[in-house]
Structure 1
């Protein structure tokens, strides 16, 4: 389809680090609840960094879900718009070897991308250092609100957003699979069964030095 008519709803983050996965969980839940038609692409951007650049360049409007360290109370939702968005990306680098999403946006703009609208729907995380953890309750409780914000933005852009009957996300790549939220949370060991602050074997060796 002509990119001049394309809208991208993008969730970014790392599911393996608790609230750092908020953006991915939000876009999954959005896709589970709503259908938007051919003019809207719903995407789990994960931690792909610069691999997302072509998708950003091919949209006229961009709606982003992400965990953002605003320095506010956990679970605080903020809507950042247009030119202010790059300054707030993101809570931390996606990994030591991946480019932060702010650089992705900067590169797209440098290459001539002229979006009609960019919206960042960000939530203050509570915990992003729990390896294997999932969303903390205060962050998970914001999903209804942030999805409603996305629906309102799409409506302003002229998109007809239709409720689905529920169930798993239907867009390819968003589930259902072992990383879908329900399967992930039901299948992972508890904090009492598995140490989730790093590799305990390495930490034990360091402590013996």
Structure 2
């Protein structure tokens, strides 16, 4: 039997944001285009997290290329951890943590979804919401249209990135009980 890629797992719906008080929860939000190879690493990471047992204070969301559609996340959560790909010239699979305060603090756009992401962050601050935002980036070397496969180095970075995200989440929970 051939080793087929698993289809994406539906993580939530619009009703998800109204199910419970999320002020003490941390949202892990993976963004990217699942159909563009390594550019979709944020979505792949969320799919991997969906297969794990996570702490009760962690919620995950496959944000895809949502842009402004994700704005309600910032109304519901005080802390949001983004995961996205970046083409920053570093070796593929390099993981970095950035504390963006403005849209200009986000890495250079890889595709159209980043324009929406940057605009959404500016809108968050214009609405007078002040969430604690953290951004994990995973370096990619190229984008391969019309494939869901990740390059070996980028795929190999996912477990380490998840460990770093969960470690940060645990530390943030003690800071923001």
TM-based fold match above 0.5: yes
Counterpart for residue 15 of structure 1 = 34
Counterpart for residue 146 of structure 2 = 131
Are 1:93 and 2:108 an aligned pair?
A: no
Measure, in 2, the Cα distance between the counterparts of 1:84 and 1:111: 13
Aligned with 2:44 (options 15, 25, 29):
25
8 Å CA contact 1:69–1:90 kept in 2: the answer is: yes
Are 1:103 and 2:127 an aligned pair?
A: no
- SS in structure 1 of the partner of residue 72 of structure 2: helix
Measure, in 1, the Cα distance between the counterparts of 2:62 and 2:148: 19
Are 1:75 and 2:127 an aligned pair?
A: no
Measure, in 2, the Cα distance between the counterparts of 1:33 and 1:3: 20
Q: CA 1:148–1:90 in structure 2 vs 1: closer, same or farther (change >3 Å)?
A: farther
Gaps in structure 2 of 5+ consecutive residues = 1-19
TM-score by length of 1: 0.67
Measure, in 2, the Cα distance between the counterparts of 1:127 and 1:136: 9
Deviations 1:79-125 (A, max 9, x none): 11242775224542335xx842111111011101112x211111111
8 Å CA contact 1:9–1:41 kept in 2: the answer is: yes
Q: CA 1:21–1:133 in structure 2 vs 1: closer, same or farther (change >3 Å)?
A: same
TM-score by length of 2: 0.78
8 Å CA contact 2:58–2:169 kept in 1: the answer is: no
Are 1:55 and 2:73 an aligned pair?
A: yes
Counterpart for residue 160 of structure 2 = 145
Superposition deviation, residue 31 in structure 1:
2.3
Larger Rg: 1
Deviations 1:5-55 (A, max 9, x none): 232110000111000110001111122123222x43210000111100111
Aligned with 2:58 (options 40, 44, 68):
40
Counterpart for residue 157 of structure 1 = 172
Are 1:64 and 2:79 an aligned pair?
A: no
Superposition deviation, residue 70 in structure 1:
1.6
Are 1:6 and 2:25 an aligned pair?
A: yes
- SS in structure 1 of the partner of residue 41 of structure 2: helix
- SS in structure 2 of the partner of residue 141 of structure 1: helix
- SS in structure 2 of the partner of residue 155 of structure 1: helix
Ranges of 4+ aligned residues in structure 1 off by more than 4 Å: none
